[in-house]
Amino acid sequence: MAVTVRTNHNLRFNTAVVAPWPSTVDTTNRKVLDQNGDPFLLFGFSSWAMGQSLTNSEITSALQAIHARGYNMVNACPCGVDVHSVGSPAKYQNIAGQSYFTGTPFQSSLGAAWSTMDWVQSETERLGMVLMLSWFVSFGTSGIGGDIDAASTAQMRTFGQNVATRYLNAPNMMWHVEGDGGDPPANSTRGRKLDYLFRGITETQTTPRLIFAEPQLDTTAYDRYISQEGTDPTGYQWLHLSANSLYSYASNSTEVFDTVWAQTGATTYPVWDCEPPYVDNSQYTGNFRQQVRERNFSVFIRGGCAINYGDESWWPFDQGTWPIASMSWVSVPDRVETVQASYAWALLAAYCAVLDWAPDTSMLTTGLGSGDTKASSGKSSGAFLIYFPSSRTVTVDTTVISGTANVRLRWYDPTAGTFSTVAASEAQQSGRSVSYPGNHADGTSDYVLVVDLA
């Protein structure tokens, strides 16, 4: 089928840019595409306070460490992440004490602290990583919501123009709204101010950029933003999102993703996981590492375009008191969960970054499961991936792969990033029973069955 690019979401790109960057949205296959028309999977590492809590040399070290683990995106806020205490002025400063504004937030010009965000942008571009620059609205006084309310629509528009001008030639950027509990209705005071921020951005940038959002927990971006798109002054006229979003702390990862994927009114939008439970948090039940792996695999196998993976010991970068953190941020890239996520990214990038990848269960005839045990299954024209959260009887129909060529069957160990071969090459068959591997060292038994053409 032909690719359809969503109106107002198309990116014009500079042909001199060699690295691939997320550029357009394909509404037929629900993919984010790069400037070459190829699917771009976003493996993000949530880094909210990077522009407030780290020096330039620390930013470089942090980005290089997670880039080496296969992450290709970070979110970062130029202002608004209150990592010290609620109401602290530090949310508008960098680590050197410089301010992001010369005066009142959003009512004055850009301050010296923006040099830190400049460094984040230049270093992510150098490494071939995407920078999702986030407006941290948040809830209560923890973010920028109240200060947005206090500014005029004209001042918010000017602020948007100033930021867009500053990063006019940065090819690796996306815009992001962290609404969370501060999601404003489009016709509210805050909603109008936020829309005028994006008016300033969109009318200034010569290269329109994708826009993602994190809505309130257990809602979607369609619920909170997309469904309210319209005209000024009652709808979001300039804040037009490029993707719908999953935001749930439930453990039945496949089912919660599929619900968002099939949401009425939003079935042409890509879907991203805007904030799965971060490592060190306690929302998941059962073995936490297995649940993290399950979430990572299920999002992309079921057709997702991005994830905002997180670690509670990472994003504050040791600033202030954060009770959930268990180690210094410098140790996080070598953490077991971080390394195991890199194994997921490697497999997913190899198989799911094709235009025809889509959720599909037709190969799995026995062993689908339900709830927290439900397998995640997806396919392209020449391959199937099936993530199993736990051990079970498995029967597959390999004749559903296109053509009559022989197929290869392998198990992928998500705790080690290694394959074990079931069959190097065999004829396709409709009732192929596959013996399940033994438990991992930690007692869990999640594996990915990989079936592709031999």
186-238 per-position pLDDT tens digit = 999 999 999 999 999 999 999 999 999 999 999 999 999 999 999 999 999 99
Q: How far apart are the C-alpha atoms of 438 and 301, rounded to whole Å? A: 23
Residue ranges of domains in the chain: 22-351, 360-453
What single-letter DSSP state applies at residue 239?
-
What is the enclosing helix (H) or strand (E) of 57? Answer: helix 56-67
Q: How far apart are the C-alpha atoms of 318 and 55, rounded to whole Å? A: 12
Q: How far apart are the C-alpha atoms of 381 and 403, rounded to whole Å? A: 9
What's the Cα-to-Cα distance from 40 to each of 249, 333, 352, rounded to whole Å? 25, 23, 10
Sheet holding 364-366, edge to edge: 364-366, 394-396, 432-434
Nearest Cα residue to 32 out of 263, 325, 352, 319: 352
Distance, CA of 362 to chain centre: 27
Please, what sign has the CA dihedral across residues 78, 81, 83, 86? positive
The three-point CA angle 233-234-237 to 5° equals 70
Of the listed ranges 66-70, 119-123, 318-322, 347-351, the one predicted with least confidence: 318-322
Q: 22-351: CATH homologous superfamily?
A: Glycosidases (3.20.20.80)
Question: How confident is the model over 395-452, as pLDDT tens digits?
Answer: 999 999 988 899 999 999 999 999 999 999 999 999 999 999 999 999 999 999 999 9
> Inter-axis angle of helices 189-204 and 153-166, to 10 degrees?
30
**Which of the four pLDDT bands, split at 50, 70 and 90, describes residue 12?**
very low
Question: How confident is the model over 19-77, as pLDDT tens digits?
Answer: 899 999 999 999 999 999 999 999 999 999 999 999 999 999 999 999 999 999 999 99
What single-letter DSSP state applies at residue 28?
T
Average pLDDT over residues 104-130: 98
Question: How confident is the model over 252-268, as pLDDT tens digits?
Answer: 999 999 999 999 999 99
State residue 285's pLDDT score.
83
Average pLDDT over residues 327-355: 98
Q: How far apart are the C-alpha atoms of 225 and 220, rounded to whole Å? A: 8
State residue 286's pLDDT score.
87
Distance from first CA to last CA of the chain, Å, rounded? Answer: 27
Please tell me whether residue 446 adopts helix, strand or coil conformation. Answer: coil
Residue 91 has pLDDT above 60, yes or no: yes
Residue 376 has pLDDT above 60, yes or no: yes
Burial 409-446 (b: 16+ CB within 10 A, else e): bbbbbbbeeeeeebbeeeebeeebebebbeebeeebbb
User: Taking the complete model, does pTM exceed 0.75, yes or no?
Assistant: yes
Of the listed ranges 128-132, 137-141, 164-168, 291-295, the one predicted with least confidence: 137-141
Residue 3 has pLDDT above 60, yes or no: no
Neighbours of 265 (CB within 10 A): 11
| Residue 22 in tokens | 């997320």
Give the up-direction half-sphere exposure of residue 36: CA atoms within 13 A in the CB hemisphere. 10
Distance, CA of 337 to chain centre: 17
